[in-house]
Amino acid sequence: MRVKICGITQPAQAQAIAALGATALGFICVSASPRYITPEQIQAILAALPTANRPDCIGVFANPTLAEIATTLAIAPLSAIQLHGQETPQFCQQLRQQFPHLELIKAFRISSIETLAQTAAYATVVDTLLLDAYHPQQLGGTGQTLDWRSLKSFQPQKPWLLAGGLNPGNILTALQQLSPAGIDLSSGVERSPGDKDLDLVVQLFEQLRHRA
């Protein structure tokens, strides 16, 4: 199962989290976010990561232009793009055509069954789906959980990641109810936005080992 730790801002923490077993690291490319870091900062973190067994390095954008993504990629060689805004399937298709070598992840902030149904329109234009909790002001990292029971029938055509308020204390409960291809944590393993608590990351992987 993929384990993505999102909102990474510090090279030393990125190295430690990768060493603990994270298979993906997320970097927030949304300037309004408290976890935002510049492309140059992302590049410095990527340069500090080992080349062997390097986790996927994912840039998180919200309603970007293709030019904005291209500018970031020219500085920071990411392996995946996550779209966390109101991007259309048409935009996703354009992005796929321009950067066919990158994994494309489309995130959805689930507020209703209708929102969940919208994911079907993206099945042919993205590689991975991500379900996050809805918040009227914040795009992610809110600490709010989804109604896991309402997702039991969610069986999309593409792999999907579960996000939204996950932490070491509730991860096993979530995974007892659902079988996502991966999980995505941010605020659940933090001291403050962008400052990861490595003790919580250790606890997370201990919990996942219990599941195995």
Q: Is 6 a catalytic residue?
A: yes
Interhelix angle 11-20/198-211, rounded to 10 degrees, is 20
Q: Which of 6, 29, 57, 92 is catalytic?
A: 6
CA separation, residue 76 to residues 9, 14, 182, 207, 212 (Å): 14, 15, 24, 32, 35
Tokens, residue 26: 């997320």
Q: What is the DSSP string of 71-99?
A: HHHHHS--SEEEE-S---HHHHHHHHHH-
Q: Is 132 a catalytic residue?
A: yes
- List, in order, residues 6 or more apart from 11 with CB less than 8 Å away: 44, 45, 48
Q: Which of 29, 92, 132, 184 is catalytic?
A: 132
Catalytically annotated residues: 6, 132
